[in-house]
Chain A
Amino acid sequence: MSPEAAHHPPVQGLAHQFDSLEQQTEATTLGMWVFLVTEVLFFGGLFMVYTVYRTWYPDAFAAASHTLDITLGTINTAVLITSSLTMALAVHSAQLGQRKLIMIFLLATMALGGVFLGIKGVEYYSKFVEHHVPGPSFHFEEPQFAAHAQIFFSLYFLMTGLHALHMIIGFGIMLFMLGWTWKGGITADYYGPIEIAGLYWHFVDIVWIFLFPLLYLLGGRY
Chain B
Amino acid sequence: MASSTVLIPPRHYLNDGYGIASWLLTRDHKRIALLYLATVTLFFFVGGAMAVMIRLDLATPAGDLVTDETYNKLFTMHGVLMVFFFLIPAIPAVLGNFLVPIMIGAKDLAFPKLNLFSWYIYVAGGLFTLYALVTGGVDTGWTFYTPFSTVSSTTNVIPTALGIFITGFSSILTGLNFIVTIHRMRAPGLTWFRMPLFLWSTYATSLINVLGTPVIAITLLLVAAERVFHFGFFDPRLGGDPVLFQHLFWFYSHPAVYIMVLPAMGVVSELVAAGCRKPVFGYPFVAFASLAIAVLGFLVWGHHMFVAGESVYSALIFSMLSFLVAIPSAVKVFNWTATMYKGAVSWETPMLYAYGFIGLFTIGGLTGLFLAAVGLDVHVTDTYFIVAHFHYIMVGGTIMGYLGGLHYWWPKISGRLYNEGLAKLSAGIIFIGFNLTFFPQFVLGYMGMPRRYHAYPPDFQVLNVLSSAGASILGVGYLIPMVYLMWSLRYGRLAGSNPWGAVGLEWTTTSPPPTENFTETPVVTWEAYDYHAPAEGHVA
Do A and B share a direct contact in the complex (Cβ within 8 angstroms)?
A: yes
Q: Which of A's residues lie within 8 Å of B, judged by CB?
A: 2-4, 15-19, 23, 26-28, 30-31, 34-35, 37-39, 41-46, 48-49, 52-53, 57, 134-135, 147-148, 150-151, 154, 158
Taking the closest CB of chain A, its distance from the CB of B208, in whole angstroms, is: 11
The answer to whether B248 touches A48, judged by C-beta atoms less than 8 angstroms apart, is: yes
The answer to whether A154 touches B218, judged by C-beta atoms less than 8 angstroms apart, is: no
A42 CB contacts on chain B under 8 angstroms: 214-215, 217-218
A23 CB contacts on chain B under 8 angstroms: 184-185
Taking the closest CB of chain B, its distance from the CB of A10, in whole angstroms, is: 14
The answer to whether A16 touches B107, judged by C-beta atoms less than 8 angstroms apart, is: yes
A4 to B488, CA, bound (A): 33
A2 CB contacts on chain B under 8 angstroms: 516, 519
Residue B241 interfacial (CB < 8 Å): yes
A28 CB contacts on chain B under 8 angstroms: 110-111
Assuming the contacts A17-B112, A27-B110, asked whether A151 and B232 have C-beta atoms less than 8 A apart, the reply is yes
A18 CB contacts on chain B under 8 angstroms: 110, 185
Per-residue CB contact flags for chain B residues 429-447 toward chain A (1 = under 8 Å, else 0) read 0000000000000000000
A3 CB contacts on chain B under 8 angstroms: 519-520
A45 CB contacts on chain B under 8 angstroms: 214-215, 217-219, 222, 248
Taking the closest CB of chain B, its distance from the CB of A55, in whole angstroms, is: 11
Can you list 16 A-B contacts (CB < 8 A)? A17-B112, A17-B185, A27-B183, A28-B110, A30-B179, A31-B110, A31-B180, A38-B210, A49-B233, A49-B244, A53-B233, A53-B240, A134-B232, A135-B230, A151-B239, A154-B225
Per-residue CB contact flags for chain B residues 201-217 toward chain A (1 = under 8 Å, else 0) read 00000000011111101
Residue B360 interfacial (CB < 8 Å): no
The answer to whether A150 touches B211, judged by C-beta atoms less than 8 angstroms apart, is: no
Taking the closest CB of chain B, its distance from the CB of A43, in whole angstroms, is: 8
A44 CB contacts on chain B under 8 angstroms: 214-215, 218
The answer to whether A17 touches B109, judged by C-beta atoms less than 8 angstroms apart, is: yes
A147 to B238, CA, bound (A): 6
Chain B residues touching A, majority SS: helix
A42 to B214, CA, bound (A): 5
Taking the closest CB of chain A, its distance from the CB of B110, in whole angstroms, is: 5
Taking the closest CB of chain B, its distance from the CB of A212, in whole angstroms, is: 20
A41 to B185, CA, bound (A): 26
The answer to whether A34 touches B215, judged by C-beta atoms less than 8 angstroms apart, is: no
Taking the closest CB of chain B, its distance from the CB of A42, in whole angstroms, is: 4
Residue B108 interfacial (CB < 8 Å): yes
Per-residue CB contact flags for chain B residues 229-263 toward chain A (1 = under 8 Å, else 0) read 11111000011110010001000000000000000
Taking the closest CB of chain A, its distance from the CB of B496, in whole angstroms, is: 22
Residue B521 interfacial (CB < 8 Å): yes
What count of chain B residues pass the 8 Å CB interface test?
43
The answer to whether B111 touches A31, judged by C-beta atoms less than 8 angstroms apart, is: yes
Taking the closest CB of chain A, its distance from the CB of B169, in whole angstroms, is: 9
The answer to whether A35 touches B218, judged by C-beta atoms less than 8 angstroms apart, is: no
Residue B176 interfacial (CB < 8 Å): yes
A27 CB contacts on chain B under 8 angstroms: 110-111, 180-181, 183-185
The answer to whether B239 touches A17, judged by C-beta atoms less than 8 angstroms apart, is: no
Taking the closest CB of chain A, its distance from the CB of B508, in whole angstroms, is: 16
A57 to B240, CA, bound (A): 11
Partner of A4, one of B111, B241, B521: B521
Assuming the contacts A23-B184, A150-B238, A151-B231, asked whether A41 and B108 have C-beta atoms less than 8 A apart, the reply is no
Residue B315 interfacial (CB < 8 Å): no
A38 to B108, CA, bound (A): 23
Partner of A26, one of B184, B210, B225: B184
Residue B172 interfacial (CB < 8 Å): yes
Assuming the contacts A3-B519, A45-B215, A147-B238, asked whether A154 and B183 have C-beta atoms less than 8 A apart, the reply is no
Closest to A47 in B: B218
A41 CB contacts on chain B under 8 angstroms: 211-212, 214-215
Residue B106 interfacial (CB < 8 Å): yes
The answer to whether A135 touches B214, judged by C-beta atoms less than 8 angstroms apart, is: no
B183 CB contacts on chain A under 8 angstroms: 27, 30
Taking the closest CB of chain B, its distance from the CB of A206, in whole angstroms, is: 16
Partner of A151, one of B177, B212, B238: B238
A37 CB contacts on chain B under 8 angstroms: 210-211
Taking the closest CB of chain A, its distance from the CB of B483, in whole angstroms, is: 36
The answer to whether A30 touches B516, judged by C-beta atoms less than 8 angstroms apart, is: no
Taking the closest CB of chain B, its distance from the CB of A28, in whole angstroms, is: 8
A46 CB contacts on chain B under 8 angstroms: 218, 222
A52 to B212, CA, bound (A): 20
A37 to B207, CA, bound (A): 11
The answer to whether B179 touches A34, judged by C-beta atoms less than 8 angstroms apart, is: yes
Partner of B110, one of A17, A39, A148: A17
Taking the closest CB of chain A, its distance from the CB of B210, in whole angstroms, is: 5
A134 CB contacts on chain B under 8 angstroms: 229-232
The answer to whether B184 touches A17, judged by C-beta atoms less than 8 angstroms apart, is: no
A31 to B519, CA, bound (A): 27
Q: Which has the most chain B C-beta neighbours within 10 Å: A28, A30, A37, A49?
A: A49
A34 to B239, CA, bound (A): 36
Closest to A41 in B: B214
B244 CB contacts on chain A under 8 angstroms: 49, 52
A100 to B107, CA, bound (A): 36
Partner of B213, one of A38, A135, A151: A38
Known: A41-B214, A49-B248, A151-B239. 9 other contacts (CB 8 A): A4-B521, A17-B112, A31-B110, A31-B111, A44-B215, A45-B219, A48-B248, A57-B239, A154-B232
B232 CB contacts on chain A under 8 angstroms: 134, 147, 150-151, 154
Per-residue CB contact flags for chain B residues 89-111 toward chain A (1 = under 8 Å, else 0) read 00000000000010000111111
The answer to whether A52 touches B241, judged by C-beta atoms less than 8 angstroms apart, is: yes
B101 CB contacts on chain A under 8 angstroms: 17
A17 CB contacts on chain B under 8 angstroms: 101, 106-110, 112, 185
A18 to B214, CA, bound (A): 29
A106 to B307, CA, bound (A): 54
B222 CB contacts on chain A under 8 angstroms: 45-46, 49, 158
The answer to whether A30 touches B172, judged by C-beta atoms less than 8 angstroms apart, is: no
A57 CB contacts on chain B under 8 angstroms: 239
Partner of B225, one of A4, A35, A147, A158: A158
B214 CB contacts on chain A under 8 angstroms: 38-39, 41-42, 44-45
The answer to whether B521 touches A151, judged by C-beta atoms less than 8 angstroms apart, is: no
Closest to B110 in A: A27
A35 to B229, CA, bound (A): 29
Taking the closest CB of chain B, its distance from the CB of A17, in whole angstroms, is: 4
The answer to whether B520 touches A154, judged by C-beta atoms less than 8 angstroms apart, is: no
A23 to B231, CA, bound (A): 47
A155 to B106, CA, bound (A): 45
Q: Which has the most chain A C-beta neighbours within 10 Å: B101, B217, B231, B248?
A: B231
B107 CB contacts on chain A under 8 angstroms: 16-17
